[in-house]
Amino acid sequence: MKREIIIFHPGQKEYCHCEGVTQNAGRPKQSPDTIRRLLRQTTARNDIKKRVPWFITMTAVLSVVCIPLSAQTDSLHNLTVENAVRLAMMHNPELVSARLEVDRSDARVMEAWGYTMPSVDLSGNFNHIVTKPKSYFPDAIYYPLVKLMDSTAKVPKPTGQLIELPFSMTPTNSANAALNVRQILFNGSVFIGVGAANVYSKMARDIFLQKKVETVAKVRKAYYGALLAREALTMMQSNLKNAEENLKNVQLLRSQGIVSEYDELRATVGVDNLRPIVIQTETGFDLAVTNLRNTIGIADSVKFVPAESLTLQEVDESIVMTANETVLESNPNLNIVKHQIELNDAMVYAEKANFLPTIAAYGSYSYTAIKDDYKISTNDFYKQSQVGLTFSLNLFQGLQTSSRIEQAQLEKQKTEEQKGSLERNLQMGIRSVVGTLRQARKRVDAQQKTVETAERGYKIVTARFLTNAATQLEVNDAQLALSQAKVNRMQSIYDYLVAATELDSMLGRLPEYVNEEEE
């Protein structure tokens, strides 16, 4: 039996007309007059509400919403993903540590160059002898000197022994000032060390780049996770609101005897089941925001909310098409391993250099004075200067050098094996990420159509329920189908954004605003 019925939709403060709605044969039939009378009573109650000036209602809403927000303006910030990344560039502890390591590597380069430069030392000393040592002289020289100085002196015949002198020949005071210069002319380890320090500096920069890429990826994923949690919270709050409005309609129809007690119980249980889920999603959103804050590295006192929405951001197809080749050229981890191989090469050559000689030039210029009293003047100093070359070559060191060379070569082979394994893993990983990206993109399109279909189905079954043409079970099923469709769509968008982030991370790509900030 077809009738023209006025239908009230949950979530809408309006009525619409539907034609051709058939009553459910399993329900007690209600006369058209009864249904119209029931809905006219509802309309009258709503008309009374409409007599209240609309601006009074808006004032009440603004007093509840706007005032708390204005009070929090100083501490609550709308955070975009770009701002989140910029904050992480400044505050993330791992990134700060990597930046310091770059500065340290530059200092090591300067240190390595320092070994090729001359070494200049200035020294000075003053000595005072408290107790002078005894002096001895051979009697074969001492006796003739005594006889020469005093011809009348009687001296014994020399016996070849040492005679203790009556005075000490060591001066009481001595002073010395010297300038020494040394320059390495050839040393294999020194020159190889300069090249190794430059390689280490490049590797430190690649490590810093890898940390930047990793930090950006972590922040983006954490931000998208917060957006997903907020979307889930908004959806569950909307579901709860629809369920509460549906419960009101069921209670209204129940009071008029149109629906059974069972339908009212199911609607009540549906509302009660949604409330703890809303609380769980609120907790999940708070945890997602906390995770984002920790990933950025900012204090808990800084309050913020994600300013963006969970929307699809397409990846350039040319990047996806060339990803398999690009990853072997621009992946930061692979570049680090390549520099490590260069360092291993340098270590091998440095150990082999121990078989080569070391040649150095030196020179010194000094002033020295000796005197028994403290009356030392500039005239008491005599100068001395010298230059020369030194040559040293190790002939045998117990096979230590050969063993160290072998260890360095084995270390290089080990790193080369790691490089091959990393290349294979990167190629497999990039194919997986590209596959996930394409699959998520298809799911987004499919789930968008599913959401639209589920929304239309929910409106239809709600309208049928109000005309006693559908059961509360059908309403619950439609609500569940709509919720599942929305969840699937949000999850597909989140999966796409995460896959795009992983693709950028594997390719070593940074957002343009990060590169602009560095310039």
pLDDT in tens, 331-385: 999 999 999 999 888 888 888 888 888 899 999 999 998 887 878 787 888 899 9
Q: What is the pLDDT of residues 76-92, one digit of tens each?
A: 478 888 888 888 888 88
Distance CA 266, CA 513 (A): 53
Q: State the pLDDT at residue 132.
A: 78
Q: State the pLDDT at residue 31.
A: 45
Answer with the residue of higher pLDDT: 192 or 31. 192
The fraction of the chain above a pLDDT of 90, given in percent, is: 20
Distance CA 474, CA 346 (A): 75
Instruction: State CA 337 to chain mean position distance.
Output: 19
- DSSP codes joined into one string, 209-244: HHHHHHHHHHHHHHHHHHHHHHHHHHHHHHHHHHHH
Q: Give the list of residues 6+ apart from residue 365 with CB closer than 8 angstroms, or none.
A: 178, 179, 383, 384, 385
Q: State the pLDDT at residue 48.
A: 37
Q: State the pLDDT at residue 417.
A: 93
The 8-class DSSP code of residue 25 comes to T
Q: State the pLDDT at residue 432.
A: 93
Angle at 444 between CA 438 and CA 445, to 5 degrees: 100
Angle at 283 between CA 277 and CA 287, to 5 degrees: 140
State the average pLDDT for the chain: 79
Q: Is a pLDDT exceeding 60 seen at residue 173? A: yes
Q: Is a pLDDT exceeding 90 seen at residue 283? A: yes
Q: Nearest Cα to 30, choosing from 331, 469, 443?
A: 469
Q: Mean pLDDT throughout 299-315? A: 84
Point out the least confidently predicted range of 143-152, 210-219, 431-440.
143-152
Q: Is 68 helix (H, G, I), strand (E, B) or coil?
A: helix
- Torsion, CA 224, CA 229, CA 233, CA 236, rounded to 10: 100
Q: Alpha helices, DSSP H only, in 72-187?
A: 81-91, 93-114, 139-149
Q: Is a pLDDT exceeding 80 seen at residue 388? A: yes
Q: Is a pLDDT exceeding 60 seen at residue 468? A: yes
pLDDT band at 67 (very low <50, low <70, confident <90, very high): very low
Q: State the pLDDT at residue 25.
A: 38
Compute and round to an integer the Cα radius of gyration of the chain: 45
Q: Mean pLDDT throughout 301-323? A: 86
Q: Alpha helices, DSSP H only, in 115-260?
A: 139-149, 188-255
Answer with the residue of higher pLDDT: 16 or 63. 16
Q: State the pLDDT at residue 518.
A: 57
The fraction of the chain above a pLDDT of 70, given in percent, is: 84
pLDDT band at 47 (very low <50, low <70, confident <90, very high): very low
Q: Is a pLDDT exceeding 90 seen at residue 387? A: yes
Q: State the pLDDT at residue 179.
A: 94
Instruction: State CA 128 to chain mean position distance.
Output: 63
CB 313 within 8 A of CB 497: yes
pTM of the model: 0.65
Q: Is a pLDDT exceeding 50 seen at residue 43? A: no
pLDDT band at 308 (very low <50, low <70, confident <90, very high): confident
Cα dist. 245→6, 7, 307, 340 in Å? Answer: 17, 14, 30, 66
Q: Mean pLDDT throughout 126-135? A: 81
Tokens encoding 157: 């015949």
Distance CA 496, CA 313 (A): 8
Point out the least confidently predicted range of 12-16, 99-103, 379-383, 493-497.
12-16
Point out the least confidently predicted range of 66-75, 188-197, 292-301, 438-447.
66-75
